[in-house]
A and B are shown apart, each in its own frame.
Chain A
Amino acid sequence: MEQKEFHARNGQSWELNQIPILEESSFRQKILEGCHHNLRLVNLYAQQDENRNIKVFAILGNDQEGRLTVFAMQIPHDQALFQSLTSELPQAHMFEREMAEQFAIAPIGHPWLKPVRYHQNYRNVSDLWPEVSSKSIPGVYPFYRVNGEEVHEVAVGPVHAGIIEPGHFRFQCHGEEILNLEIQLGYQHRGIEKVMENVSVERAVLLAESIAGDSVIGHATAYCNIIESLSDCEISPRAEAIRSIALELERLSNHIGDLGALSTDIGFLPPSAYFGRLRGEFLNLLMELSGNRYGRSLCRPGGVLFDLDEGMIKNFRERLLIAQRDLKEISDLFFSKSSVLSRLEGTGIVSKKTAKELGLVGPVARASGLGLDVRSDYAFGMYRFNYIPVSTVHSGDVYARALIRWLESQRSIEFLLDVLNQIPEGDLQTKVSVLKPNHMALSMIEGWRGEIVHVAMTDSNSRVVRYKIKDPSFSNWMGLSMAVRGVQISDFPLCNKSFNLSYAGHDL
Chain B
Amino acid sequence: MGFQILLHIGIVIILSPLLLGIIGKTKAFFAGRWGAPLLQPYYDIGKLLRKGNVYSTTTTWIFQAAPIVSLAAVLVSSILIPMGGLKAPFSFWGDIILFAGLYALARFFIIIAALDTGSSFEGMGASREAAFSCLAEIVLFLDFIILALLSKKLILSEMIMRNILSWELFGPVLLLVVASYFLVLLTENARIPIDDPATHLELTMIHEVMVLDHSGWDLAYILYGAAIKLFVLGALLVNILIPFHGLPAIVQFMVFWGGMIILAIGLGIVESCMARLRLNRVPQLLTGAFVLALVGLLIILVKGV
Contacts and interface: CB of A to CB of B under 8 A. Distances in A.
Interface of A: 152-156, 161-162, 176, 263-270, 272-274, 277, 337, 339-340, 342-343, 347, 488-494
Contacts of B272: 269-270
B203 interface: yes
Tell me which of A153, A268, A488, A494 has the highest count of chain B C-beta atoms within 10 A of its own C-beta.
A268
B200 A161 contact: yes
A266 B274 CA distance: 9
B120 A267 contact: no
B279 A267 contact: no
Given A269-B271, A339-B193, A490-B279, A161 B201 contact: yes
A419 to B, nearest CB: 31
Contacts of A489: 124, 203
Size band of the interface chain B makes with A = 20 to 34
B2 interface: no
A154 B275 CA distance: 26
B248 interface: no
A337 B274 contact: yes
A270 B124 contact: no
Interface of B: 27, 30-33, 120-121, 123-124, 192-193, 196, 198-204, 271-281
Contacts of B275: 263, 266-268, 337, 339-340, 342-343
A156 B202 contact: yes
A273 B31 contact: yes
A270 B32 contact: yes
Counting from the closest, the 5 A-B pairs by CB-CB distance are A273-B31, A268-B275, A267-B276, A267-B196, A266-B275
B283 to A, nearest CB: 11
Contacts of A263: 275
Contacts of B279: 176, 488, 490-491
Contact of B30 (A161, A176, A266, A269): A269
Given A270-B31, A273-B32, A273-B33, A265 B203 contact: no
Contacts of B202: 156, 161
Contacts of B201: 161-162, 265, 493
Contact of B278 (A270, A273, A277, A488): A488
A490 B201 CA distance: 9
Given A267-B271, A489-B203, 20 more contacts: A152-B123, A154-B124, A156-B203, A162-B201, A263-B275, A264-B199, A266-B276, A267-B275, A267-B276, A269-B31, A270-B32, A272-B31, A274-B31, A277-B32, A339-B276, A342-B278, A343-B278, A488-B280, A490-B203, A490-B278
B201 to A, nearest CB: 4
B210 to A, nearest CB: 14
21 contacts: A154-B121, A156-B202, A162-B200, A265-B199, A265-B201, A266-B275, A267-B193, A267-B275, A268-B274, A270-B30, A272-B31, A273-B31, A274-B32, A339-B276, A342-B277, A343-B278, A347-B278, A490-B203, A490-B204, A491-B204, A491-B278
A181 to B, nearest CB: 11
A413 B123 CA distance: 46
B11 to A, nearest CB: 30
B289 to A, nearest CB: 17
A458 to B, nearest CB: 47
B221 to A, nearest CB: 22
B117 to A, nearest CB: 14
B12 to A, nearest CB: 28
A155 B120 contact: yes
Contacts of B276: 266-268, 339, 343
A359 B276 CA distance: 33
Contacts of A488: 278-280
Tell me which of A270, A274, A492 has the highest count of chain B C-beta atoms within 10 A of its own C-beta.
A270
Contacts of A156: 202-203
Given A339-B274, A488-B279, A267 B32 contact: no
A265 B279 CA distance: 13
Contacts of A272: 31
A179 to B, nearest CB: 14
A493 B204 contact: yes
Contacts of A268: 274-276
B271 to A, nearest CB: 7
B203 A267 contact: no
A308 to B, nearest CB: 31
A56 B233 CA distance: 68
A277 B275 CA distance: 19
Contacts of B198: 267, 269
Contacts of B277: 339, 342-343
